[in-house]
Amino acid sequence: MNGVYGKRVKPLDVRLVRGDGERLGGRWRRRNLATGEITGKDLTGWSGRIELRSPDGVELWYSRSCDEMTDDGYAVANLPPSAFAADIWLQRRGGQWKCVVVSPSGATVRTVGWGYWILSD
């Protein structure tokens, strides 16, 4: 064992506003067991995406690649103001979301953010 473990990802509920640009994502942090130091995992070269799903999590309603993958563990997608402009979003008012990152080789897939979302006007 190398003395480092990943921190459990806790849920984060978010409110999205129709017509506003939004930033949504997560952070991968690790704690060194010997020193107690918490650092972010270098996600440079990784890919990521955010997903907005139905309340039961079955249907994928929206997916967007992350625009930022940082060396201190952040994966962030910028949602444009037009993201929820279609009429279908009048019926889709909430559900589950998550942010997933994938290593360059594709061998590692990790959820770095998740929770529930609501959409308001």
Q: What is the percent of the chain with per-residue pLDDT over 70, rounded to a whole number?
A: 92
Domain map (residue ranges) of the chain: 14-119
Angstrom CA distances, 104 to 29, 42, 73, 98, stand at 18, 12, 15, 20
Q: State the pairing for strand pair 29-32/4-6.
A: antiparallel
pLDDT average, residue stretch 39-64: 97
Comparing CA positions, the residue from 13, 25, 85 lying closest to residue 51 is 25
pLDDT average, residue stretch 60-64: 98
Cα 79 versus chain centre, distance: 12
Per-residue pLDDT at 64 exceeds 70 = yes
Cβ count within 10 A of residue 37 = 10
Burial of 29 (0-12, 13-18, 19+ CB in 10 A): middle
Q: How far is the C-alpha of 22 from the C-alpha of 54, rounded, in Å? A: 19
- pLDDT score recorded for residue 9: 59
Q: In CATH, what class is 14-119?
A: mainly beta
